[in-house]
């Protein structure tokens, strides 16, 4: 980089006076001149096509060319961007930006520091800063950055010196901090953003009061055979919620009473019975047979398919996906992600069971990958598994899952899962002696069930199967569907355990499958005697 020793007043007139508060960062193009991305295309022609397609801000990034080439190219680019009234920023090189007279610069953590850049360029210049954690974001926001380039969100070949992949979770944490501190700084995310994930990333990261102001895109436009069409598609996707967002629990649904939800339980079970929804289970071999039988008993149509390539066809059949992370392998993780994307694209529900989430580094990494790789409608697990999914870890002291209703620990757990549900917009189910369910506001405690459920392999996995049938059949109210499924499952276990032919866990399993079937059929007939057993309350 060329060092600059002139005062900002000398160069102040070079910058066109575009009001910074009017800058639209919604579709921010970062150029790449490398042959692997640009090929033999002309960079100015690609940028102009992208501007025609809807790009709202352009950053010229070239880490290899000499200064003369950089200045010459930047001038040509600036002529193009000015015709479209779009700001041009230069990556890293303040000297090039000053020579060209463009609107500003973007600097990374290893480039010239922000205070010096501001002193040189003046207050009217746009200065963006790359950040990948809260500490860097705080320094840039307090230091007067106009916007933050947050990333790298996903792995990308266009940036080799990536310090870390932060995923959607890391992006959310930075946005939450900005919202909490009320820092007046704009935000864009960068890193692996393309047409397949942009709607989801924008939608997921906008929880709790701070939304992204835009997305930064590189190869999805620069490497496209038709950059104008690619930009037009991306500009539309940035503004469009993903398919699955239409059925996320609304605030009114989240704040009902226990009695209101109990009144919906018969409707959920009858919907499953009448619709016979597909329950696509990706689970381990130990559980597959049991899960298939449970699915049939509750009225669903099971398929045990662990190959991700099948998911696109299966997702179009109107059912739900269960990802049960009982066995973690690289191949399995790849298949999970393919299936997750397929169901997200189809707008069909996904139930995720992060089995053993906190047990090993491999499982912790897998959970982060899955939650960052798509949207999960229902997150179900035991206490340790669910708390392991809380971004940044949980402050709840884990005293076990046997806490009674009304205990301080149950209230702490309810608060933790409520925050998790709000952040990720899941329905969260934490299983234990008392099961907790929430979509982000009211936390429902369900105390039905039997100890035999904990003495048989796969009962937790099969609860996920039962929930999948309910949310597939009753998709517009997934909270009610989930509460209904958990309650139904618990009462069936109680009824099975009380049968005279049940002597222990071995005889419990067939009786349990029987009672799941019997309760469903009784409900369809209008016999709701079993529902009198319901122990559903609200955790204050």
Q: Catalytic amino acids?
A: 461
Residue 371 CA to residue 358 CA, distance in Å, equals: 14
Give SS3 for 85.
coil
d(CA 497, CA 86): 69
Query: Which residue(s) pair with 446 in the sheet?
Result: 435, 536
Task: Tell me the torsion sign for CA atoms 284, 288, 294, 296.
Answer: positive
Burial profile 189-218: b = 16 or more Cβ within 10 angstroms, e = fewer: bbbbbbeebbbbbbbbbebeebebbbbbbb
Query: What token pair was written down for 390?
Result: 């809380």
- For 65-178, list the strands marked E by DSSP: 88-91, 104-107, 126-131, 147-150
Tokens standing for residue 508? 């419990």
Distances in whole angstroms, Cα of residue 214 to Cα of each of 29, 49, 186, 199 = 10, 19, 9, 11
Phi and psi of 351, rounded to 5°? -110, 125
What CA dihedral angle connects 12, 13, 19 and 24, to 10 degrees? -90
The H-or-E segment that residue 489 falls in is helix 478-497
Q: Which two tokens stand for residue 490?
A: 């618990």
Positive/negative CA dihedral, 116, 189, 180, 398: negative
Q: Which residues, in sequence order, are bridge partners of residue 350? A: 321
CA angle 300, 303, 306 (to 5 degrees): 140
H or E segment and range at residue 97 = helix 94-100
CA–CA dist 394, 387 (Å, integer): 6
Helix (H) or strand (E) run with residue 345 in it: helix 330-346
Q: Minimal CA–CA distance to 318: which of 463, 474, 197? A: 474
User: What's the N-to-C CA distance of the chain in angstroms?
Assistant: 59
Asked whether the beta carbons of 414 and 436 are under 8 A apart, the reply is yes
H-run or E-run covering 341: helix 330-346
Q: Which two tokens stand for residue 137?
A: 């974001």
* CA dihedral of residues 464, 468, 470, 473 (deg, nearest 10): -170
The whole-angstrom separation of Cα 176 and Cα 170 is 10
For residue 73, give both structure tokens: 């190219």
Residue (of 496, 476, 474) closest to 485 by Cα position: 474
């Amino acid at each position: 980089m060329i060092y600059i020793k002139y005062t900002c007043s000398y160069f102040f007139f070079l910058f066109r006076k575009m009001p910074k508060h009017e800058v639209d960062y919604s579709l921010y193009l970062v150029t790449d001149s490398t042959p692997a991305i640009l090929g033999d295309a002309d960079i100015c022609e690609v940028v102009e096509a992208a501007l025609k397609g809807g790009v709202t801000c352009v950053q010229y990034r070239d880490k290899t060319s000499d200064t003369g080439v950089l200045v010459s190219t930047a001038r040509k680019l600036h002529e193009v961007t000015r015709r479209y009234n779009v700001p041009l920023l230069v990556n890293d090189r303040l000297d090039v930006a000053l020579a060209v007279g463009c609107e500003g610069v973007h600097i990374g953590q290893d480039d010239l520091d922000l205070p010096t850049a501001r002193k040189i360029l003046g207050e009217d210049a746009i200065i963006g800063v790359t950040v990948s954690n809260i500490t860097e974001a705080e320094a840039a926001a307090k230091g007067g950055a106009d916007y933050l380039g947050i990333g790298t969100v996903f792995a990308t070949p266009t940036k080799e010196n990536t310090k870390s992949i932060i995923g959607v979770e890391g992006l959310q944490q930075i946005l939450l901090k900005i919202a909490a501190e009320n820092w007046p700084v704009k935000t864009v995310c960068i890193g692996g953003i393309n047409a397949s994930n942009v709607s989801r990333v924008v939608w997921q990261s906008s929880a709790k009061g701070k939304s992204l102001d835009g997305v930064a895109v590189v190869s999805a436009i620069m490497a496209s055979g038709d950059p104008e069409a690619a930009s037009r598609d991306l500009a539309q996707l940035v503004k469009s919620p993903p398919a699955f967002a239409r059925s996320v629990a609304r605030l009114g649904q989240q704040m009902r009473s226990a009695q209101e939800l109990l009144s919906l339980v018969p409707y959920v079970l009858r919907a499953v019975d009448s619709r016979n929804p597909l329950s696509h289970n990706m689970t381990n071999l130990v559980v597959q047979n049991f899960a298939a039988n449970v699915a049939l008993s509750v009225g669903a149509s099971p398929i045990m398919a662990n190959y991700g390539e099948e998911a696109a066809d299966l997702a179009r059949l109107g059912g739900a996906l269960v990802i049960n992370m009982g066995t973690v392998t690289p191949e399995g993780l790849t298949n999970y992600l393919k299936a997750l994307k397929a169901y997200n694209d189809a707008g069909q529900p996904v139930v995720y069971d992060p089995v053993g989430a906190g047990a090993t580094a491999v499982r912790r990494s897998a959970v982060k990958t899955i939650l960052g790789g798509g949207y999960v409608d229902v997150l179900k697990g035991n206490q340790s598994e669910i708390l392991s999914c809380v971004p940044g870890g949980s402050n709840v002291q884990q005293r076990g899952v046997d806490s009674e209703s009304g205990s301080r620990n149950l209230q702490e757990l309810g608060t933790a899962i409520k925050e998790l549900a709000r952040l990720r917009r899941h329905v969260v189910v934490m299983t234990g002696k008392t099961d907790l369910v929430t979509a982000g506001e009211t936390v429902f405690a369900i105390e039905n069930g039997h100890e035999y459920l904990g003495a048989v392999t796969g009962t937790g996995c099969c609860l996920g199967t039962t929930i999948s049938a309910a949310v597939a059949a009753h998709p517009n109210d997934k909270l009610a569907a989930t509460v209904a499924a958990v309650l139904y499952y618990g009462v069936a276990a109680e009824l099975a355990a009380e049968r005279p032919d049940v002597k222990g866990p071995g005889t419990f399993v067939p009786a349990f499958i029987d009672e799941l079937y019997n309760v469903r059929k009784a409900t369809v007939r209008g016999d709701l005697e079993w529902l009198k057993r319901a122990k559903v309350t609200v955790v204050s």
